[in-house]
Amino acid sequence: MKRRIDYARFMADAPPTIRLTDRKGASVLVVGGTWTVLSLRGIARQIETLRKGGKMRGVKQVDASGVSRLDTAGVLEILSIAGVDGPTDITTRDQRHAELFEVVKKNKGDATKEHHVNWFAHWLEEIGLDVVHFGQQLINLCAFFGEIVVVFAGAFLQPRRFRFNAVIRQMFEVWIKALSIVGILCFLIGVVIAYQGVQQLKQFGAETFTVEAVAIGMFRELGVLLTAIIVAGRSGSAFTAQIGTMQVNQEVDAMDTMGLNPIEWLVLPRIIALVLSMPLLAFWGDMAGVLGGAFACTIYLDFTFVQFFDRMRDTVGVWNFYTGMIKAPVFGLVIAAIGCFEGLQVRGSAESVGQLTTRSVVESIFCVIVLDAIFSIIFLLAGV
């Protein structure tokens, strides 16, 4: 069935033809058949060989009376064959084809020339632009943090400006809905660490230290770091995409004109929600991780749960837990602030939303890890 339709179309459309003849001493380009955008491919090579011969240059006469079907692309191709100036004397089949030639001639501009730049200059320009952009970004980010602080302080003077409903709604999204994924991943990492710990420590006959490895590792670093990375990927990106889409739809502009401060309405609730949710999630992640470790120990060490937690209580200091918990709200603040900031940077199109969402996730994970390193130094100096 499909083939038949195809065949019928080719029968109806004679393929395009082209040849160069001599009439009364002048060379004439004779074209015929179908000259439409869909048929041009068939004749491209023929045109190329004729053109390479150099005879086509300066042809002033075209006989297009044998053309059965014609469209603007076909006309453009016929006109371009003769070179820059184009032919002056064109014979066509009927009035409609003549008009088509006229329309195309009138609108035929110079084809846009490709812009060639030295690759080194181009590279320098790119780097320069990146540096300038980075500087501007840094200034904007500082301004943004300043604005948040001002709005936050203002909200303390007028507590009704804390938008509690929005905070609760956001907390449902970033906390409750993240519980399952954070729990499962931390549990699995706990299992993995315990398994690796047993394998390595067995060589020294110190496999019971697996309990410390799991508990301290989870409490100090892994629980909160893993949670922060999950949250950056799922909530930080969501913040950027939500606010970015509102920016594209001019919803943020509409808010501005109504005297609603976007920082107060969009940014503050998200930041508060995430700062509150991060410690809760990190705690949940810690518990799941330790449980995973304990579960693995019952299998690989023949520990009972009671033995595991007894040892943990005796050997793992509570400050290990506190250090992790102190980091959590700071990570939450950074992830939320970067997510919202990038969302507000969106300009114009859907493409921009995608770019900035990617950037928001990368930047927040980067910042979280840098901050984690800084915290390590601080805790080291503080001796905890």
Spatial separation of the C-alpha atoms in residues 76 and 108, rounded to whole Å? 8
Query: Binding marks (x or -) toward other proteins, 298..317, rule CB under 8 A?
Result: --------------------
Q: CB nearer to other proteins: give 14 or 73.
A: 73
Residue 134's alpha-carbon distances to 127, 128, 147, 281, 355, in angstroms, are: 10, 10, 20, 32, 16
What does residue 68 show for φ and ψ, rounded to 5 degrees?
Answer: -90, -45
92 versus 170: smaller Cβ distance to other proteins: 92
Nearer to other proteins, 114 or 314 (CB): 114
CB of 92 to other proteins, least distance (A): 14
Distance CA 240, CA 218 (A): 29
Asked if 12 interacts with other proteins (CB under 8 A), we say no
Q: How far is the CB of 247 from other proteins (least distance, A)?
A: 12
Q: Which is nearer to other proteins, 43 or 273 (CB)?
A: 43
Choose, by CB under 8 A, the member of 249, 250, 349, 358 that binds other proteins. 349
Per DSSP, the residues of 266-294 read: IIHHHHHHHHHHHHHHHHHHHHHHHHHHH
Which residue from 89, 99, 126, 256 is in contact with other proteins, where contact means CB under 8 A?
99
103 binds other proteins (CB under 8 A): yes
- Residue 37 in the binding site for other proteins (CB under 8 A): yes
Please report how close the Cβ of residue 77 comes to other proteins at its closest, in angstroms.
Answer: 7
Q: How far is the CB of 39 from other proteins (least distance, A)?
A: 8
Q: Which is nearer to other proteins, 73 or 192 (CB)?
A: 73
Non-local CB neighbours of 93 within 8 Å, separated by 6+ positions: 64, 65, 66, 67, 68
Q: Is 347 in the site for other proteins (CB under 8 A)?
A: yes
Q: What are residue 92's DSSP bridge partners?
A: 64
Contact 77, 35 (CB under 8 A): yes
The residue from 13, 71, 147, 251 that contacts other proteins (CB under 8 A) is 71
- For residue 291, the minimal CB distance to other proteins (Å) is 46
Q: Is 245 in the site for other proteins (CB under 8 A)?
A: no
CB 280 within 8 A of CB 175: yes
Residue pair 86/80 in contact by the 8 Å Cβ criterion:
yes
Q: Which of 25, 54, 109, 205 binds other proteins (CB under 8 A)?
A: 109
Instruction: Report the residue from 17, 65, 68, 72 that binds other proteins according to the rule CB under 8 A.
Output: 72
Nearest to 168 by CA among 92, 269, 312: 269
Residues 353 and 349: their CA atoms lie apart, in Å, by 7
Task: Check binding of 111 to other proteins (CB under 8 A).
Answer: yes
9 is a site residue for other proteins (CB under 8 A): yes
Residue number, 59 or 76, with CB nearest to other proteins:
76
Tell me the one-letter amino acid at 225.
L
CA-CA-CA-CA torsion for 319, 324, 325, 331, nearest 10 degrees?
150
Residue 264 CA to residue 173 CA, distance in Å, equals 19
- For residues 167 and 206, give the distance between their C-alpha atoms in angstroms, rounded to a whole number: 48
CB of 60 to other proteins, least distance (A): 21
Binding site for other proteins (CB under 8 A): 1-2, 5-6, 9, 36-38, 40-41, 44, 71-73, 76-77, 80, 96, 99-100, 102-104, 107-112, 347-352
